[in-house]
Amino acid sequence: MHPGDGYNEVSIFEVGCSNKISKGDNFLNYDNFTTEKGIKLGLTKNQIVAAFGNCYHTKDRIELGIKTIYRIELPQDTKNDFLTNQNMPIYYVEYQFKKDKLIRFEFGFEYP
């Protein structure tokens, strides 16, 4: 949640496996969370690229694997009204791979 978000308004989702629970963490009770585009843990990078295309950038982190990031931002990304309808300037999704398997992903609206 971002400062100023409304009650039960969620701006960023993080999906992954964790052995630790921090104070204030909220969890959904699902064995297999899947997005509307069919993204779920365990997919390969090629499967993600097939769903979203090649317009991403990559960050390499040896101990954490590789992060692939997609981002849309106003004013340059105006092909549809998604950001305008949400009244937000930036939407992103970050995929983290280890041994070419999706182990964590995060998506949502960046704090303006």
Position with higher pLDDT, 25 vs 37: 37
65 inside domain: yes
Please tell me the pTM assigned to this model.
Answer: 0.77
Collect all residues with Cβ–Cβ distance below 8 Å to 21 and sequence separation of at least 6.
Answer: 27
78 inside domain: yes
73 inside domain: yes
21 inside domain: no
Where in the sequence is the domain holding 52, given as residue range(s)?
Answer: 39-109
What are 50-101's pLDDT values in tens digits? 888 877 778 776 566 788 888 888 877 667 788 888 878 888 899 999 989 9
If one counts the domains in the chain, the total is 1
Question: Shortest CA distance to 98 belongs to which of 70, 61, 71?
Answer: 61
Task: Examine the pLDDT at 43 and tell me if it is beyond 90.
Answer: yes
44 inside domain: yes
CATH number at residue 81: 3.30.1450
